[in-house]
Amino acid sequence: MPAEQRADGERLQKVLAAAGVASRRASEELMAAGRVAVNGRTVTEPGTRVDPAVDEVAVDGVPVRVDPERRTVILHKPTGVVSSMKDDRGRPDLSQYADRYEERLFNVGRLDTDTSGLLLLTNDGDLAQVLAHPSFGVTKTYIALVDGAVKPGTLHSLREGIELDDGPIAADRVRILPGGAQPGATLLELTLHSGRNRIVRRMLDAVGHPVRELARREFGPLKLGDLPAGRSRDLTAAEFGALATLVGRGRADR
């Protein structure tokens, strides 16, 4: 049943207020101004009822998280932690972070045990499927400390593409970062959209610059920022909107 015809559910202005968009009164003004859409259709009537678990709500074209049972958090995974909820070898795993939340969360994709940085935990299966699927080409940005002095020609090779055992691969962007490097090492920022196993380490090994340290700083529109290692936080409304927009665009392109 379209949201405009629902006899049950919650009033849209109440749902928007609960999502932190605006007060109920201000939400009614947003609706009256034609800035709110439900399932792609502009809604102006304040009596409209929606089902937060089913209906998709957007303000000014940006999706709004209205289902309180769905949760996605950013985790700064430390090194030495396995990207699984239970490790059969008894190593530290993600359960210690997921257990902080009432919802049963799982990880979106993986980071190597020796790689730190941004990892998503969620209970939204649709979101996880889209973000993890290689066809959507979600970009990831890494900071890598590598052995040796990286030359401009090596950066060019990484951008143009190199051949690995499982096929060719190219970085979307790669650059040398000034400062921060240790003696005999170079600090690189590398962005790519591949989800292949240990792909950054294998790429840099292939061009003669093995990785000393590796951290993922960005995942699609999300940034790790100054979140300390071992800490996690909920997505902001803006981050959720950006992520949901990315997911919706990816679905439309399929």
Using one digit for the tens of pLDDT, what is the confidence trace for 61-85? 888 877 777 889 999 999 999 999 9
Residues in the chain, pLDDT under 50: 1-3
pLDDT at 208: 97
- pLDDT confidence of residue 248: 65
Just list the catalytic residues: 112
Per-residue three-class SS string for 25-51: HHHHHHHHCCCEEECCEECCCCCCEEC
Task: Give the 3-state secondary structure of residue 76.
Answer: strand
Q: Check residue 242 and give its pLDDT.
A: 81
What pLDDT does 2 receive?
A: 45
DSSP 89: T
The four Cα atoms 24, 12, 64, 108 give a dihedral, to 10 degrees, of 120
Q: Is 52 helix (H, G, I), strand (E, B) or coil?
A: coil
Spatial contact of 232 and 75, defined as CB atoms under 8 Å apart:
yes
Cβ neighbours, 10 Å, residue 227 = 15
Greatest C-alpha distance within the chain: 68
pLDDT at 89: 92
Q: CA–CA separation, 113 vs 9, rounded Å?
A: 44
Residue 244 is inside which H or E element, if any?
helix 237-253
How many C-alpha atoms does 126 have within 13 Å on its Cβ side? 10
